[in-house]
Amino acid sequence: MSRGFSWRKVSTEAQLLLVGIPVLLWTLIPVYHLLLFAISQRDSATSGRLWPADPTLQNFGIVLGQKHFYLTHFWVQIGNSLLIAVATGLITLFVATCAAFAISRLKLRGGRTVLNLALITYFIPAAFLAVPMYKTMANYGLLNNRWSMILAMVTIAAPYCIWVLKQASDKLPWELDEAARIDGASPLQLFRLVYVPLMVPSLVAVGTYALLLAWNEYLYGFLLLSKENEIPLAVALGNFLSADDSPWELLMATGFIYALPPAAIYYAFKRYMVSGLTAGAVKS
């Protein structure tokens, strides 16, 4: 007879389940409710049912076909979100990689100061910076221009990226730079041929971080952009709240579509994201 069974083991498993089940419920209820709304017809959605009377995909059809007053710019707005996210990702990557290379590998004098400036920026609560940022963008004449949001997002994303890249750069073997210098490589050749190829995993993590930050951002878009055809999808979702009887099921269907790309990217790059985040966010 198997002696693997013991009451002690059963009790351990039961205790783990007692944690696991509430954790799953807690996590999934808001997500399930979102999905429930997205696949319900209007009257079924607001009848408080736990499962839709007639599950339907027609809400998605309405959203994708822009067949509602609130959704006439859906594709333009999702395009804006994409443009802002990709531009933020690329510009942040460029700015942060250059800075990290200069500080870590070229041993720029004053590099520590630059790094500290970046770190202080990282510690300004985003909603606090938003107030003077709004006024600044107005002074620069950039309000209602998608560049204002891109530049604001680069400002917020770059410090963390510089810091993570600097930490990763410091770990590269110094002999590589030595060898490149002895072979007569220029700084730019060292950057292009040695540094960037070796940093690819960190660059992916950091670029993805900046991209997701910009895609997910609500507040800055809400402040800096207001024209229907220039706002990202996040702001358009918030605009549903301006009326009391908005089509909530369409809002949830749009929200579901909006949430898919970042979730997919997150899970696809999970390995990079998790190690990057845990290595970067908190150095104990």
Partner 1 sequence: MNTAAATVATPGPARRGLSSWEFWGRALVVPYLLIFIAFVLYPVGYGLWLARNPSSYAKLFDDPIFFRTAINTVVFVLVAVNLKMVIALGLSGFFVQSRWWIKITALVFILPWAVPSIPTILSVRFMLNPEWGVINSQIFKLTGLDGPNWLNDPTLALGFSMLMHIWKSLPFWTLIFVAGRLAIPGEQYEAASVDGATRWQKFRFITWPSMMGLYFTSTILSMIWTLGDFNSVYLLTGGGPADLTHVLATLGIRYLRLDQLELAMASIVVAMPFVLPLVYVMMKRLSK
Residues 42-71 that bind partner 1 (CB under 8 A): 46-50
Cβ–Cβ < 8 Å for 63, 71: yes
8 Å CB contact between 112 and 50: no
- CA–CA distance, 153 with 135 (Å, rounded to integer): 16
CB 209 within 8 A of CB 163: no
Binder of partner 1 out of 178, 227, 228, 229 (CB under 8 A)? 178
Task: Tell me whether residue 24 or residue 193 sits nearer to partner 1 (CB atom).
Answer: 24
Q: Please work out the total of residues on this chain that contact partner 1, with binding judged by CB under 8 A.
A: 104
Question: Quick one: which of 76, 90, 95, 143 contacts partner 1 (CB under 8 A)?
Answer: 95
Instruction: Provide the angle, in degrees to the nearest 10, between the axes of the packed helices 74-104 and 200-216.
Output: 140
| Identity of the residue, 2 or 284, whose beta carbon is nearer to partner 1 in the bound complex | 284
CB 227 to partner 1: min, Å: 17
Scanning residues 180 to 219, which ones bind partner 1 (CB under 8 A)?
A: 181-182, 186-188, 191, 215-216, 218-219
CA angle 112, 114, 117 (to 5 degrees): 110
| Interface stretch with partner 1, choices 55-63, 68-76, 203-211, 246-254 (CB under 8 A) | 246-254
Q: State the nearest-atom distance from the C-beta of 30 to partner 1, in Å.
A: 5
Q: Which of residues 120-159 bind partner 1 (CB under 8 A)?
A: 120-121, 123-136, 139-140, 151-152, 154-155, 158
Instruction: Please report how close the Cβ of residue 17 comes to partner 1 at its closest, in angstroms.
Output: 9
Rounded to the nearest whole angstrom, what is the least distance from the CB of residue 76 to partner 1 in the complex?
18
Nearer of residues 132 and 197 to partner 1, judged by Cβ: 132
Judged by beta carbon, residue 1 or residue 283, the one nearer partner 1 is 283
Residue 25 makes contact with partner 1 by CB under 8 A: no
118 makes contact with partner 1 (CB under 8 A):
yes
20 binds partner 1 per the rule CB under 8 A: yes
- Nearest residue to 105 via CA among 160, 10, 177, 192: 177
**Residue 135 Cα to chain centre, angstroms:** 25
The amino acid that residue 182 corresponds to is I
Residue 115: which H helix or E strand, with range?
A: helix 111-122
Cβ atoms of 208 and 214 within 8 Å: the answer is: no
Q: What share of the chain is helix, strand, coil (3-state, %, to 5)?
A: 75, 0, 25
Q: How far is the CB of 3 from partner 1 (least distance, A)?
A: 20
In the stretch 251-280, what mask flags binding to partner 1 with x, by CB under 8 A?
A: xx--xx-xx--xx--xx--x---x--xx--
Can you say how many angstroms the Cα of residue 39 is from the centroid of all Cα atoms in its chain? 26
The answer to whether residue 10 forms part of the interface with partner 1 (CB under 8 A) is: no
Q: Which of 96, 61, 76 has the alpha carbon at shortest distance from 209? A: 96
| Residue 16 touching partner 1 (CB under 8 A) | yes
Report yes or no: 137 and 152 within 8 Å, Cβ to Cβ.
yes
Which of 10, 53, 117, 196 binds partner 1 (CB under 8 A)? It is 117
- Least distance (Å) between residue 170 CB and partner 1: 7
Residue 1, helix vs strand vs coil: coil
